[in-house]
Amino acid sequence: MYIIEKAPAKINLTLDVLYKRSDQYHEVEMVMTTVDLADRIEFFLIEEDKIEVASENRFVPNDERNLAYRAAKLLKERYDVKQGVYIKIDKQIPVAAGLAGGSSDAAATLRGLNRLWELNITLRELAVLGAEVGSDVSFCVYNSTALAKGRGETIIELPAPPQCWVILAKPAQGVSTQSVYQSLQLNDIEHPDTDGMVQAIKRSDYQGVCNRLKNVLETVTLPKNPEVEQIKEQMLRSGADAVLMSGSGPTVFGLVQQESRADRIYNSLRGFCEEVYVVRLLGNRQ
């Protein structure tokens, strides 16, 4: 018996950091949604009582460094499952890109194994479990559009934003999320209009969404990675309606409503950025 789950990438429409908590995590507010760039994960029941993870991508570990492995182990131990599983990850989302690829794999693993092992756990319960694996996993369990608070584990679902094309461009150099947060100067932050973004989404106001894109982590990542700034400028020059870095970076995304403009931006970026994608916004649970 086997089951397939899609694990879509996420983008941040807003990312705000409010303060550093006593547990050393940062209190955040983020509006996130999903795009049609996804890993494909297959789950096979095996006779041996163990977890195996495999991927052809050499940057994907097959042990406890892998969030999907951690999610499977947590679910297995918490619900005392005596069955084994072989997890095959077909990686399409760039690694260490600010697109929550690992978190989405973990979330897809929780959903997939819930079905494979017939555990009948609710989505809300899976999201609570996901918070033990990683900060973005709870959002990825819902696989939709949401306002995330706390350290990312408190999820308030939202309608899908207005449909549009999304151009994603990832520079070659990766970014350490931990080092970005450590370097963030909390006193100098200009905060996003998070409430305004939520209202724009609820009104299906495309221009309102574009006007409110903001990510406070750009203040750290951009000065250290000039290529990210160059990609942003190139996207705007080529006709993007709005441009932002996702997560801690380094991936940049641009929004447009016309496919022809999306193609033009894609072609303009191919010269100096290897990983470029044109995808649709998803925004709804898949």
Enumerate the domain spans of the chain: 2-157, 165-280
With a cut of 70, say whether residue 37 has pLDDT above it.
Answer: yes
Q: State the Cα–Cα distance between residues 160 and 83, nearest whole angstrom.
A: 37
Q: What was the pLDDT predicted at 241?
A: 98
Candidates 180, 184, 181, 192; CA nearest to 242 is 192
286: confidence class by pLDDT, cuts 50, 70, 90: low
Q: What was the pLDDT predicted at 96?
A: 84
Q: What was the pLDDT predicted at 174?
A: 78
Mean pLDDT of 21-43: 94
Q: How many CA atoms lie within 13 A of 177 on its CB side?
A: 16
130 is in an annotated binding site: no
> Which residue type does 32 have?
M
User: DSSP secondary-structure letter at 193?
Assistant: -
Active-site annotation, residues: 10, 136
Mean pLDDT of 123-152: 95
Whether this model's pTM surpasses 0.85:
yes
95 is in an annotated binding site: yes
Higher pLDDT pick, 21 / 104: 104
192 is in an annotated binding site: no
101 is in an annotated binding site: yes
User: DSSP secondary-structure letter at 137?
Assistant: H
Query: Domain 165-280 class?
Result: alpha beta
135: confidence class by pLDDT, cuts 50, 70, 90: confident
Mean pLDDT of 7-34: 94
Sign of torsion over alpha carbons 234, 240, 241, 245:
negative
Mean pLDDT of 86-105: 94
135 is in an annotated binding site: no
Higher pLDDT pick, 181 / 216: 216
With a cut of 70, say whether residue 258 has pLDDT above it.
Answer: yes
Common-topology check for domains 2-157 and 165-280: no
CB 129 within 8 A of CB 74: yes
% of the chain beyond a pLDDT of 90: 80
Q: What was the pLDDT predicted at 115?
A: 97
3.40.50.1100, 3.30.230.10, 3.40.50.2300, 3.30.160.270: CATH of 2-157: 3.30.230.10
Q: State the Cα–Cα distance between residues 184 and 192, nearest whole angstrom.
A: 15
pLDDT in tens, 139-185: 999 999 999 999 899 999 999 999 999 999 999 887 788 888 888 98
Q: State the Cα–Cα distance between residues 68 and 200, nearest whole angstrom.
A: 34
pLDDT in tens, 58-79: 888 888 899 999 999 999 999 9
Beta carbons within 10 angstroms of residue 221's beta carbon: 23
